[in-house]
A and B are shown apart, each in its own frame.
Chain A
């Protein structure tokens, strides 16, 4: 049963610290999305990649956030320095495009708390 995996599942850190979140997309999927979910804003798209190339990162605060895909099996989202307002659940999702049904498969998320 293919799944998107994310690590860590939970992270508590202090303001100013660097946070790195990792995602392993479903094998064979060529598109990876990073979302942030908060009560106030809902699900926001931060960035996404196709065939490891960044296609859109306009939803991401550029000064502190960075997203990369070092290889087809790993996507990373980094926050440096972290701030309390970054506290949220960060989801990675993957998909295979183009195809008729454009399903996004979400990982379990990283629950981040910045103190």
Chain B
């Protein structure tokens, strides 16, 4: 079946350092979404990318969608303790169940104060 691979699985950073997580699909995605899950919480939608090569920013977070629409990244500049949590990418495939998302395994971010 279709899979979205996400790396790294874990990342420990010192507060103020940058952080990046990457997602890769073997087949073209219709769109990709990013979610954040705080410890003990539930996934919360961050953003959706649709266009090839799209780049979107939310304050210190930068999201990119690859030219081939097979990969994506989330970059956080100057991490803060509030950034702690697990970041998931979720890809939608054309022709799949119309509204179905395939989630990556997530990258768990720890920020050391």
* A interface list, Cβ under 8 A from B: 31, 35, 42-43, 45, 48, 50, 55-56, 91, 93, 95, 97-98, 101-109
Contacts and interface: CB of A to CB of B under 8 A. Distances in A.
B97 A102 contact: no
Given A42-B104, A43-B88, A106 B99 contact: no
A48 B92 CA distance: 14
Given A101-B48, A102-B31, A109-B42, A45 B105 contact: no
B66 interface: no
30 contacts: A42-B103, A42-B104, A42-B106, A43-B43, A43-B106, A45-B101, A48-B97, A48-B99, A50-B98, A50-B99, A55-B97, A56-B97, A56-B100, A91-B42, A91-B43, A93-B43, A95-B99, A97-B98, A97-B99, A102-B48, A102-B92, A102-B99, A103-B48, A104-B45, A104-B90, A104-B101, A105-B45, A106-B43, A107-B42, A108-B41
A98 B92 CA distance: 13
B105 A42 contact: yes
Contacts of A103: 33, 45, 48
B68 interface: no
Interface in B37-78: 41-45, 48
B32 to A, nearest CB: 11
Dominant secondary structure at the A interface: strand
A45 B100 contact: yes
Contacts of A45: 100-103
A102 B50 CA distance: 11
A106 B103 CA distance: 14
Contacts of B45: 103-105
Contacts of A102: 31, 33, 48, 92, 99
A33 to B, nearest CB: 8
Given A42-B106, A101-B48, A102-B33, A48 B43 contact: no
B82 to A, nearest CB: 19
Contacts of A109: 42
Contacts of B33: 102-104
A87 to B, nearest CB: 16
